[in-house]
Structure 1
Amino acid sequence: MASILSKNQKKKQDYTLKELKSLGSDLLSSRAHINNLPLLLSFISPESPPQFVVESLLSLQSFFTPLLSQLPSTSSSSSSTKRPRSEEDDDDTSNKKTDEDPEVIFNAWLRSKFDEFVQLLLDVLVSQQSEDTLRDIVLGTLMEFVKLLNAGRFHSSIFHRILNAIIHSAVDIDVFLDILTSKYFKYIDVRYFTYISMEKFVKTLEASSVVSADRTVIEHSETENESKDSLELSIRKIYQVLSRIPPPQKQAEKSDHEMWSGSDESSSSEKPKDKKKKNKDQDSSLLSPTTIAKRMKLKFTKAWISFLRLPLPLDVYKEVLASIHQTVIPHLSNPAMLCDFLTKSYDIGGVVSVMALSSLFILMTEHGLEYPNFYEKLYALLVPSVFVAKHRARFLQLLDACLRSSLLPAYLAASFTKKLSRLSLSVPPSGSLVITALIYNLLRRHPTINHLVHQETVETANEANSEADEPNECRPKTNKNLGIDYFNNQESDLKKTGAMRSSLWEIDTLRHHYCPPVSRFVSSLETDLTIRAKTTEMKIEDFSSGSYATIFGDEIRRRVKQVPLAFYKAVPTSLFEDSDFPGWTFNIPQEEGKC
């Protein structure tokens, strides 16, 4: 005992790297040096020098790798060492011999040391003191155990512990995701079990958030803030992991079916009866590459749907909505499962509704989603701020697509046209350009609202239609209300806006816009849009992402034939003409000595 203590005291102070290599080689050479195992484990620590950690890691990995197939499972080892004895065990002499077998006890001890080794590696992996190179080596060792520990099949429990340590670590998760993306996410089984682990983490967060909500009366405000911060941090990390996993492909190539473990080879030797007894998610012996590929969409869907039920932070919420139509919806097993999430997002209003419109439009047009108040919500989104929003290009393109159907009622098309026309007075020049293009397309698609371009007053129309010899008493009495617009800009009901009785007088004011491109572009509405064969729709993509910079760039690249010049026929002698300011003189003083 004294010799062991002296070695333990020496390890932290006097051991050199050469002596550490000697300890590892002795451990690999003979079981007589098994006491070197705990000593090497003590060097697997964030406080140890990196070269000592790597040397101990390599020796222990070389020691445990050949023994992995012989080590008992954690449950069997615990039951063999800690299970209380019963009368049946006393009568069963074979079990008694098994429990007292030195080899069984030794293997159980090795298993406990292996579990300790894995936990120490996880501590080093997520420690803030560890270097990125050391993390790469440690993660590679853990992934080798994931591959080899379960008889050559994917060991999902160790992999889950790796992801759990990463999710709850204080280190920036991008450090780990860079390694996982470059080396391991290309394997189909790694992606498969990552989705399973993410779903488990989400369920754990849901349970913890419910418990914390029940304790809000008892806990102090500081504790509540800490729990909210930790919850948000975990949600952000889960989202980072989900967003970095390559999504399942519809027509995957053979390279996409490559597996980190050899489950397809080892599973063929097992009997079908044994396969049925094991959990499909926990034991990958049932999962061949083709089976995983078939189930991948289901795991992908469960992971994302469960994640979207969490109370997402606002920045994560917006980021999800901005990319969900490209990264999530095409790969879901049933995209209609997102209808609740998207409709709630669309009902929030503001920027969130603008960002949710893209995905909601896909569900409506491609997956048969019915949303009764869709156009009322879309109409409410038309505010000046949307024309300077970050995602305005996508929103304006979808707005044009939503109003493309020729079956829309005339009052609806007129309301949108008039609303856009009114907005053209209060948006930047780039917004006026895209509004003009949108109105052009609406007038071309819906000839029934073309009267908005030039709406005459009732009395003027009656006078034009009446005969010259008709007495005034026979004409219908109407009120001539010049300068009154019947359009109610504050009305949310599209049937009551009064747009059909109004006119697009706002567009006429754009003829005198201070920005030349706007005043020039308004002339496009002067064409006869009722003859659709002679006109084509404008591409909103060409105007939707416009800004002051794009307008300025177009103007400086524009070739101008005639340039207005300021010149004088005679040299001016005063700053202003005398006729402009009678009684005042603005003569240029002549300096002495000069003519």
Structure 2
Amino acid sequence: MESPMKKTKKMKKKTPKQHSITEIKTLGQELLSSASHINNLPLLLTFISPSSPPHHILESILSLHSFFLPLLPQLPSSAATSSSSSADSDQSEFIYLTWLRSKFDEFLKLLIDVLVADESDETIKEVVLDTLMEFVKVANGGAFHSSLYNRILRSIIHSTSNAEFLIDLLISKYFKYIDVRYFTFISLEKLTRNLDGKDASDDKTASADGTDESQLSSSTEFIIHNMYYTISHIPPLEKSDDTSHLEMWSLTDDKQLKSKKRNNNVLSAARIAKKMKLKFTKAWIAYLRLPLPLDLFKEVLVNLHQAVIPHLSNPIMLCDFLTRSYDVGGVVSVMALNSLFILMTQHGLEYPKFYEKLYALLVPSIFMAKHRARFFQLLDSCLKSPLLPAYLAASFAKKLSRLLLSVPPSGALVITSLVHNILRRHPSINCLVHREEVNEDSEHRTDEETNSNLDNAHNVAKPCQKSGLDHFNIEESDPMKSGAMRSSLWEIDTALHHYCPPVSRFALSLGTDLTVRAKTSEVNIGDFSAGSYATILGAEITRRVKQVPLAFYKTTPSSLFSENDFAGWTFKCEENSETIIDNNENGAKDLLDQEHSPAKRQRIECQ
């Protein structure tokens, strides 16, 4: 019989693909059975490669995992292998353990390579990830191996293909454990700072507001997307003093936890729960400093108020990011308005030019935006304060009224409801509804002067006559200089004759005295903010009509249109039956013979 050394040498001469599954199983069984077959270890490592057959990789991983798992407590750390001395222990034993440590590090590297390789099968990737996470659990003496987990997460995020599959595996299998979530935030903060300092430092200024992504390399953009997909799917920690329900991936044994209490690196679920909000905040603040691509920038703004702000340790730290986003303009400002409004109303943020920026967002395109429903609800909330200056309320009411002339019917309903609420909340601008013609000496007044004389503006006046002059300047970006207080809401009168019946009916509500608050109520903007042609048509179809228009005729009409409708046109048929017989002798004769009623005969003669 051949000795084990000769048998191993013969197997080494073969390439990894030339070995059978039985031979690989034999190598693993020999390695696990006796230390004399330690030379099988390097040979089994050669089968772990993205180019190897999946069954070869699987058998090698199973054997090596079973071999290294009981030896991990005895292996020296990677840093200790280069600095430790063998004076306190047997030199041969130390050399052997150091060699095993190097092979274990090589094993980890090969596993990570297979994990992120394009050629690897998804089933193999799942097995590899489970094996790596098992080492994260036990390779650090029972504590969470944060450095190894950081390597795994970094490789996944920097992977150029199929990263979402691996992240989904982490989400479904491991993000339920609080320590995995905790160290994920720590790793993401490190990876973000490294990316911000190296890869994206040159183009951060150009695309920090999400408006210019041309300078971002494709690899950097891909990494940023992977980071967001990871950080946005980490479940937040619910506010609760009871931490007994929290599961941990490491230190599942209570006896093991008590024996490690002296070690500062060992964290319990209670300690992690206290620090979780801080790590969550640091990870998100670091991520928002990256030059986000435009599509991702919009997605972050949309979800920020629900997924991030409630779980931050200090939400006011987002003020720079949100104010910079709000200053971009357009749809980006609309998306940033939600989170900025929360910081202003709930966390004491002061933003001096907030209403000026909000006034600039009132353009016709906003009525077709995707997030218009939430925008109009926030706009209504921003104009609710009774401390709002009269000139500011008048400017918003006047600009909305001017937009009514160019928006679709659904937008007209929203504008009418907004103007209704503004007039009810701010009685000082009800003079815009009924105003006399402006005198020549008052044309040069500013809104501040007009606002100081509001007590004299409540006098009942005649409806505004056509003077040919409107002092309101819609092109003015400053509401104080718009001239709205010297104008009138004449645009609302056009809504009374709108071609869409719901708009004209709703506009009648503005004719009532809205200053009598006991007899009027505010309109819920949410009922109209998401309207469209389909919703208006659906409401009209289901509407119960009390009076149905009907057409009555004293005599049966002989034609579709009467002569009075088309002056100079006649619809009489001058052809007789003889002409018809001449044109089509056989067919007309048969047809006339078959028709006996006078009405049918008359209809045939008129053909």
- Give TM class, smaller chain: 0.7 to 0.9
Q: Do the aligned partners of 1:458 and 1:480 also contact (CA within 8 Å) in 2?
A: no
Equivalent residue, structure 2, for 1:299: 279
SS at match of 1:386: helix
The answer for the alignment partner of 2:328 in structure 1 is 348
DSSP-derived class of the 1:72 partner: coil
State how far apart, in whole Å, the 1-side matches of 2:215 and 2:43 are: 39
Matches within 5 A, 1:192-591: 192-209=182-199, 228-251=217-240, 254=243, 257-262=246-251, 266=256, 268-270=258-260, 272=262, 275=264, 284-285=265-266, 287-458=267-438, 482-566=467-551, 568-574=553-559, 576-588=561-573
SS of match in other structure, 1:68: helix
Secondary structure of the corresponding residue to residue 307 of structure 1: helix
Distance 1:225 1:378 in 2: 29
The gaps in structure 1 that reach 5 residues or longer are 81-94, 217-223, 276-283, 463-478
Q: Tell me the CA shift for residue 168 of structure 1.
A: 1.1
**Which amino acid in the other structure matches residue 336 of structure 1?**
I
CA offset at residue 37 of structure 1? Answer: 1.0
How far, CA to CA, are the matches of 1:433 and 1:175 in structure 2? 46
Deviations 1:449-506 (A, max 9, x none): 112112122479x9xxxxxxxxxxxxxxxx9971321111111222221111211111
**Structure 1: distance between partners of 2:225 and 2:18:** 44
- My pick for the range that moved more, 558-567 or 48-57, is 558-567
Residue type at the aligned position of 2:19: Y
Instruction: Identify unmatched segments of 5+ residues in structure 2.
Output: 207-212, 443-463, 581-587, 593-600, 602-607
Q: Determine helix, strand or coil for the equivalent of 1:586.
A: coil
Match runs of 1:36-55 below 5 Å: 36-55=40-59
Structure 2 residue corresponding to 1:179, chosen from 140, 157, 169: 169
Counterpart of 1:246, as a letter, is: P
- C-alpha contact (below 8 Å) 1:177/1:244 kept by paired residues: no
Change (3 A) 1:499 1:587: same
Instruction: Say whether the 8 Å CA contact 2:243–2:270 is kept in structure 1.
Output: no
Q: 1:395 to 1:96 in 2, by over 3 A?
A: closer
Output the CA distance in 2 between the equivalents of 1:13 and 1:398: 65
The residue type equivalent to 2:403 in the other structure is L
State the secondary structure of the residue aligned to 1:354. Answer: helix
The answer to whether the 8 A contact 1:392-1:544 is kept is: yes
Mapped to 2, the partners of 1:10 and 1:226 lie a distance apart of 49
| Farther off after superposition, 4-13 or 191-200 | 4-13
Counterpart Cα distance in 1 of 2:86 and 2:240: 56
Tell me how far 1:4 sits from its aligned partner: 4.6
Report the Cα offset of residue 248 of structure 1.
2.5
Aligned mate of 2:63, from 59, 64, 67: 59
- What is the aligned partner in structure 2 of residue 279 from structure 1? none
Q: Give the Å deviation of 1:324.
A: 0.5
Cross-structure match for 1:473? none
- Work out the CA distance in 2 between the residues paired with 1:574 and 1:225: 67
Report the 3-state secondary structure (helix = DSSP H, G, I; strand = E; otherwise coil) of the residue aligned with 2:250. coil
Counterpart CA distance in 2 for 1:395 and 1:527 is 27
- Shift, 1:563, TM fit: 3.0
Kept in 2, the 8 Å contact 1:20–1:52? The answer is: yes
3-state DSSP class of the match of 2:518? helix
Alpha-carbon distance, 1:562 to partner: 3.0
**Paired residue total:** 546
Supply the distance in 2 between the matched residues of 1:338 and 1:211 (Cα, whole angstroms): 21
Counterpart amino acid of 2:42?
Answer: P
3-state secondary structure, aligned to 2:436: coil
Which of 71, 76, 82 pairs up with 1:78?
Answer: 82
Shift of 1:267: 5.3
TM-score normalised per structure 2: 0.85
Please state how far the C-alpha of 1:557 moved relative to its aligned partner: 1.4
Aligned CA-pair RMSD: 2.6
The 1-side partners of 2:311 and 2:166 are apart by 25
CA distance in 2, matches of 1:319, 1:313: 10
Other-structure match for 1:83: none
SS at match of 1:69: helix
Q: Specify the alignment match of 1:89 in structure 2.
A: none
Is the counterpart of residue 162 in structure 1 residue 147 in structure 2? no
8 Å Cα contact 1:98/1:104 also seen in 2 = no
Tell me which of 113, 117, 126 is aligned to 1:136. 126
Structure 1 residue ranges (4+ consecutive) displaced by more than 6 angstroms after TM superposition? 224-227
Separation (CA, whole Å) in 2 of partners of 1:387 and 1:149: 58
Task: State the Cα deviation string for residues 169-204 of structure 1 (Å, max 9, x = none).
Answer: 122322112211111111111011101111111111
TM-score by length of 1: 0.86
User: Identity over aligned residues, as a percent?
Assistant: 62
Q: Which residue of 2 aligns with 1:7?
A: 11
Residue type matched to 1:404 in 2? K
More displaced stretch, 566-575 vs 133-142: 566-575
Q: Hey, what does 1:471 align to over in structure 2?
A: none
2: distance between equivalents of 1:459 and 1:402?
Answer: 33
C-alpha change, 1:535 and 1:576, in structure 2 (3 Å) is: closer
Q: Secondary structure at the match of 1:512?
A: coil
**What SS is found at the alignment partner of 2:74?**
coil
Report SS of the residue matched to 2:75. coil
Output one character per residue of 1:34-61: Cα deviation in whole Å (capped at 9) or x when no partner: 1111121111122222222111111111
- Specify the alignment match of 1:121 in structure 2: 111
Decide whether aligned partners of structure 1 residues 501 and 96 sit closer, same or farther in structure 2, where only a CA change above 3 A counts.
closer
Distance 1:353 1:497 in 2: 22
Q: Any idea what the Cα deviations from partners look like across 1:268-297, whole Å, max 9, x if unmatched?
A: 43575x64xxxxxxxx42x21111111111
1: CA distance, partners of 2:203 / 2:351: 33
